[in-house]
Amino acid sequence: MVKVKTVNPNNDYTLFVELSDGRTGIFDVKPYLSKGVLKQLQDINYFKQVRPFFCGIIWPDEQDLSADTIA
């Protein structure tokens, strides 16, 4: 099972992600910003509070994306 080791938010609503299998890349969150509970991520200060969580990433109010989505 692939896990997110590190996640670093960028000012353009992308994330630099490092996975447990050694892959790294940029994930563009912009297409998700207008969807349901993820709308809160439009606040860049909130967006930057992302962190790895189990097999994905999570924000303080529990919005999350799985490693499968961002891989």
Helix, strand, coil distribution of the chain in percent, nearest 5: 25, 35, 40
Question: Chain-centre distance of CA 2, in angstroms?
Answer: 14
Could you tell me the pTM of the whole model?
0.93
pLDDT at 34: 95
Q: Is 16 helix (H, G, I), strand (E, B) or coil?
A: strand
Which of 59 and 71 is assigned the larger pLDDT?
A: 59
pLDDT at 71: 85
Residue 8 has pLDDT above 90, yes or no: yes
Architecture of domain 4-70: 2-Layer Sandwich (3.30)
Q: Where are the domains of the chain?
A: 4-70
Q: What confidence tens digit (pLDDT) does each residue in 31-64 have?
A: 999 999 999 999 999 999 999 998 899 999 999 9
